[in-house]
Structure formats: structure tokens, C-alpha cells
Structure 1
Amino acid sequence: MSDRLVSDPGGNLLTLCAAVGAIVAAFAYFDPASGINGTPGALLVIASSIAICLAGLVVVAAALHRGPLHATLVVLLLLGILGTALAAAMLHSTLLLAMMGLCLLGWLAHLFTRKGGRPAAAAEGAAR
């Protein structure tokens, strides 16, 4: 398990930033000074951030390496990140928007690296 965590820094970044995003959204939901406290949009962002975090954990921890289930989960992660970022922008939550930007970077890093943390092109070249 620890080998998988080390070998997928993009997935780890995605999962960590989604968890921090959920905490930021929860704080904004309960803080009366945030301006978005108690709104359904903030509650939706909490739920979507938790869903992104859980999907990131599945991608990192499970043996879903480059199969159809992995591809489906990666596409759904992208849609979740972009949707949550749009909601964060509409809620004027810059910290949450920054976390979703980092999630997107982690998603890209996960997408373009293979097991072992090497870029896909370098891994193919080393196999020859």
C-alpha cells in the first residue's frame, strides 16, 4: 500500500487538496463572517470535495491501473474538480478555488505518469 502512495504523487496531491478543500468549505459554511454560511451551494461544495477526496483515495489505493474503471473514475474526477472550482468561483471562495486548481494539477500529474512516478513517455522508452 505504501508503495502505491509513493508511486502516485499526482493522486496524493489530488486527494490531499480535496480534503483541505472540504475543510475550507466546511469552515465557510459554518462561519457567519464568510458570507456564504448556511447556503446550499457551500453545502454542495463540501459534498463534492469529499467525493473528490474519496475518488482520489480509490485511484491511489486500489488496483485500478489503466482499465476501463480507472478511465471512468479519472473522467469523473475531472468533472468533479471543474464543477467544484466553478462553484468555488461563484461562492467567491478563493482558497477553495486554489485547492481545486491544485487538484487539477494532481489530476494531470496522475494522468501523465505511470506506476513508479515516471512520465508515460519515459516509461515506454525504458521498456524498449
Structure 2
Amino acid sequence: MSPSRSQGLGAIVLLVASLVGLAIALYAYFAPLTGVTGTLGALIVILVNIALAVGALVLAAVNNRGVRILLRILILLALGGNFFASLLLHQWWICIAMVVGLVGLILDMTRSNSANRPAHS
């Protein structure tokens, strides 16, 4: 893969994971007999998944190192909080989606660091 394509791979994985988590949370919120239908906790998980999707898009577009670091910290906190909330709601598939999102965040950190390092001969 070219450096520009591999650099955005982590953000894409994070985006897909947050969209999958959003779809599962929407189902849990609106479908009857899920145990969390219409609850505030499920609504908060929906909103955090939307924020994670927006954060993934911004992470893919931003080139400023300081902004990327701040955004990564905020995304990490959102992933952890959403994972914990999903545990409390017994929504295991959202927990799995948040772990996949964490893998995407780690990919983004490692790929951008290796792309920014100068090559030694």
C-alpha cells in the first residue's frame, strides 16, 4: 500500500467500528424486548458512536500533530466510556465494535508514526 492509503487505514477501521456500534445501538434503542429499549443509557451510546464517527473523519483529515494527539486522546476516552456503558447495558456486540475501534486507533498511531519517521540508510 502507498503511504497515503495506509495512513488512513486506522481511521477507516475506527469509522467502520463506530458505524457498526451505532447501528447496533439504534437497534437496541428502538427494537422492543432488547432490555434497553428507550433508555437513556442506550441513547448516550448512540450519541457517543456518532461522535466517534465524526472523530474518525476528522482524524483522517487533520495533519497538525498536536490536534491529532488531542483527537486521539478524546477518541480513546470515548471508546473506553462507550465500552463500559455497553457492558452495563449488556450490549456485547457494541463492546466488540469498540475493541475493533481501539485497534483502528492503534493502527492510526503506528502508521502515522512510521510514515513521519525519516528513513535511515
**1:5-44 aligned within 5 A:** 7-44=7-44
CA–CA separation in structure 2 for the residues paired with 1:16 and 1:59: 14
Q: How far apart are 1:67 and its partner, in Å?
A: 1.8
| Matched-pair contact (CA < 8 Å) for 2:7–2:108 | no
Q: Structure 1 regions of 5+ residues with no counterpart?
A: none
Q: Deviations over 1:54-107 (max 9, x none)?
A: 0001111x2x23521111111000000000000000000011000001000001
Question: What TM-score does the superposition give when structure 2 sets the normalisation length?
Answer: 0.89
**1:1-128 alignment to 2 at 5 Å?**
4=4, 7-60=7-60, 62=61, 64-114=62-112, 120=114, 124=117, 126-128=119-121
> For the aligned residues, what is the CA RMSD?
2.0
Number of residue-to-residue matches in the alignment: 119
Instruction: Report the TM-score when normalising by structure 1.
Output: 0.84
CA shift in 2, pair 1:123/1:72, >3 Å: closer
List runs of 5+ in structure 2 lacking aligned partners: none
Identity %: 29
